[in-house]
Amino acid sequence: MSETVLITGCRSGFGLGTAVAAARAGFTVYAGLRDLATAEDLERAAEGLDVTPLQLDVTQAHQREAAVARILDERGRLDHLVNNAGIALGGFLEQIEEDELRRVFEVNVFGAWAMTKACLPGLRDGGGGSVVMVSSMSGRMALPTLGAYAGSKFALEGLGEAWRHELKPFGIRVVLIEPGAYRTDIFERNRNVCRRYDDPQGPYVPWVRSGDRLHRKIVERLAGDPAEVCDHIVRCLRDPSPPLRHPIGPLARPRATLRNFVPFAAVELIMERLLSWARED
């Protein structure tokens, strides 16, 4: 009998790609979608594969519980969870309103925490398995204008590291996937900025448009193929003893090196020069 994996946030990007890659690798996949009406791309990509679209908004307790209950009822087991659902928010932290910041943490942190809690009894009953947290290199190094997103991913890193220790006695493996820049909808079609981002009276006006240009150049020239991350997640599902952290992508390892081995003062200087270069005169 094939192993069963629940993946959240499967409308596009890493979620959709991982659902397809996992099914091709022989897993039975339940693909969570915040709105089942958006399943068209997933169904097209997964045609002929063992992928079941599932109504699942990770911020809604009744949907979390119903999703897990359905999987256990239909399959009798749950072997893996991939916490992929997430949202980004661009903007200098001073520009961001409280409701906007809370929404980012509600999805990226509380949603992943609650989804994991809902799945743990089933994972334990099955003798173990894995929990994959799709984090980000922004969870290791915060960049200007991505402070809200980075804050949520720093929190996710802490949850994942603690759960790695707490769940090991039950045979449940916890890994943190830390992508760098990739061509996904979270920073393209689904890019989200705070309401005051373009405020013409705000103190950050000189940096906003040039920062947008810098972002576009990074995506166009350096962002990788999301399939690389999706395939790596599937390898983690099969690995009996994966490392905790998995920095991956064209910009991930240099950022990890900076974070781990370069004094923060040097990193601060790089960021200062980056902002200075991006500023519109």
* Residues marked as catalytic: 149
Going by C-alpha positions, the residue among 72, 29, 82 that lies closest to residue 53 is 29
